[in-house]
Amino acid sequence: MRVISDIAEMTSFSQQKNAAGLSIGFVPTMGYLHPGHVSLVKQAAKECGAVVVSIFVNPTQFGPGEDLAAYPRNLKRDLEILDALKVDVVFTPEAKAMYPAGYGTFVNLETPLTGKLCGEFRPGHFKGVATVVAKLFNIVLPQKAYFGQKDAQQCIVIKKMAAELNFPVNIVILPTLREKDGLAMSSRNTYLSAEERKAAPEIYQSLLLAKKMIEAGELRAEKITSAVRKKLAGLKNAEIQYVAVVNASSLEAPVLLSCEILLAVAVKLGKTRLIDNILLQLS
């Protein structure tokens, strides 16, 4: 396994692999790896000739007052995990190489999609995400890139960005991996106190409640969101940022439920912002 931090060296590796007829599978991450990340890497290894994983805590996707400085990091452990998975390259660029002084080019999606759900609580977040992913695609030159459904809105934004900027990259979305008690795996779970960790699975339980209501025939989004909010109201020291029952492509709230539905929530448990979602296909 090679660890590359130089941008030109990364691109040259991918060009050589492509010239040798090998496709590149790319998994962008912010590190502090868990089995959710591992599932993406394993799928990339199955489908591609070479696997590149990036570890980069991208400053442009964090807002003022967010957890950029505190974001958990453990490069040594991450490299051990990726080495055991026989990844070809771990790309670890420096922030000052990605965004040198005077940097001024950003990818801004002009669509209501980026202002909804997480976009409402994290202004500028998806601009930072789209910018770094576009830059990484240009550096790593992947044929396939792997993302987790856990970040549902990010998946939608990246698919749109890749299509509209004509990146020749196939975007693959894989299911959310969960802890045994249902909590969606996340690097940020490490912030939770013992008490918060114990309470956190309630978030997934609230999504399952919504799913159950829909499967039992409830078609009014408003009824479902208020039941979910009521369930989440039992969480101590929690701020419910949003409870959404929306069209899974447009993120618009339907009056009556039909088609593919995204059930999504964001909750701040103490200082930790947690998101989760499930997809439901209605016939």
**Of residues 56, 92, 148, 196, which one binds ligand AMP by CB under 6 A?**
148
CB 131 within 8 A of CB 106: yes
Per CB under 6 A, the segment of 28-36, 42-50, 191-199, 237-245 that binds ligand AMP is 28-36
Question: Measured between alpha carbons, how far apart are the two ends of the chain, in Å?
Answer: 46
CB of 31 to ligand AMP, least distance (A): 6
Burial class (CB in 10 A: 0-12, 13-18, 19+), 146: buried
Nearer to ligand AMP, 187 or 206 (CB): 187
Tell me, yes or no, if 37 is annotated catalytic: yes
**Of residues 92, 114, 153, 186, which one binds ligand AMP by CB under 6 A?**
186
d(CA 15, CA 138): 11
Structure tokens at 27: 């998994």
Based on the shown chain and the rule CB under 6 A, indicate whether residue 13 belongs to the binding site for ligand AMP. no
Instruction: Tell me which of 17, 37, 125, 273 is the catalytic residue.
Output: 37
Per CB under 6 A, the segment of 42-50, 91-99, 185-193, 207-215 that binds ligand AMP is 185-193
- Ramachandran assignment for 88, one of left (phi > 0), alpha (psi -120 to 50 degrees), beta (any other): alpha
Angle subtended by helix axes 152-164 and 125-140, to nearest 10:
60
- Reported as half-sphere exposure (CB side, CA atoms, 13 A), residue 255 has a value of 0
Which residue from 157, 165, 164, 171 is spatially nearest to 122, judged by alpha carbons? 157
d(CA 130, CA 109): 8
Based on the shown chain and the rule CB under 6 A, indicate whether residue 78 belongs to the binding site for ligand AMP. no
Nearer to ligand AMP, 30 or 235 (CB): 30
Based on the shown chain and the rule CB under 6 A, indicate whether residue 151 belongs to the binding site for ligand AMP. yes
d(CA 192, CA 198): 9
Nearer to ligand AMP, 40 or 243 (CB): 40
Based on the shown chain and the rule CB under 6 A, indicate whether residue 30 belongs to the binding site for ligand AMP. yes
Nearer to ligand AMP, 184 or 257 (CB): 184
d(CA 89, CA 47): 16
Nearer to ligand AMP, 38 or 240 (CB): 38
Based on the shown chain and the rule CB under 6 A, indicate whether residue 147 belongs to the binding site for ligand AMP. yes
CB of 40 to ligand AMP, least distance (A): 6
Q: What does the binding site for ligand AMP look like in residue numbers (CB under 6 A)?
A: 29-30, 36-37, 39-40, 147-148, 150-151, 176-177, 184-187
Instruction: Cite the active site residues.
Output: 37
